[in-house]
Amino acid sequence: MAWLVTGGAGYIGSHVVRAFLAEGMKVVVLDDLSSGHAEFVPSDVPFVRGDVLDGELLMNLFSDHEIDGVVHVAGFKYAGVSVQRPLHTYKQNVTATATLLAAMDAAGVARIVFSSSAAVYGTPRTDLVTEDTVKNPESPYGESKLIGEWLLRDQGIAAGLQHTSLRYFNVVGSGSPNLRDTSPHNLFPLVFAALSDGRTPRINGTDYATPDGTCVRDYIHVADLATSHVAAARRLAAGDTIAPVYNLGSGDGVSVGEIMTTVAAVTGIDFVPDLGPRRAGDPDRIVASGELAARDLNWKMRHTLEQMVRSAWDAEQAAVAATA
């Protein structure tokens, strides 16, 4: 039996694949490579290039492989862009999830771990976000992830689907030198690209109500996140009762200023970031409690900030060397 990882050629999905393999669990990858990379999929892992929206492809995949459950990571993940492309976002994140659940139901596959997001909370009015914090998504992306959770909940009621949703916060780092974050919108790739181009990274806003005046966010290492996906899958496969949603957060936070200082130390590139005005809608602080996931899903912060930055930088440098 194997677990299907949708989006398994992407940054997060490829780490999930490796976490499963490290535990001796078989996986199959489905990815349309719209943002993923075929080289991120190990050569001995079955890889199907295709779209989660393709119901016939899904049915064939379930028929051809003995699938025990699904880790659904695939989706359109750019919150800011989703405001300009709401229909595309809903199609990729809501219609695709409904299509997947229908195919699972028809094939008798009744377990799923869903990739959700901190974006379901919007701008929380609390210093520490828990799973019960009011949900107030502020983008089509955040709304689509919340709807995805509802789809799982309702299918659980209607058809006995075993499920859990993992709400990610700021995912960074690398668990392998040949896997890296290639998003054009995430902080680490933006900072590394600026340094590689000889530009100075920029901080947006220095007047927040935080110790150094810059935004505080909850940064978690991608390999730690991947480990909890395996734990969730194991518990679902064992028939254990687990919570419908979990925050994967540190319970603490790191400021953008601290990130910049650590990047300078790790890379050896001495720079003072450019300072700009704050962006509209950016809250002072978003930090989540990971206590529930620590109890149930082997969740913990195994990497320091320096290790997060260094692993990401090493992967970035390995990619540069490979193309030289």
Return the H-helix or E-strand segment holding 259.
Answer: helix 256-267
The one catalytic residue in 11, 121, 141, 219 is: 141
Q: Which of 318, 263, 283 is nearest to 169 (CA)?
A: 283
Three-class SS state of 245? strand
Three-class SS state of 55? helix
Tell me the H-state helices in the chain.
Answer: 11-22, 55-64, 79-82, 86-90, 96-107, 140-159, 187-196, 222-237, 256-267, 291-296, 305-323
Name 245's bridge partners.
165
Active site residue 208: no
Catalytic site positions: 141
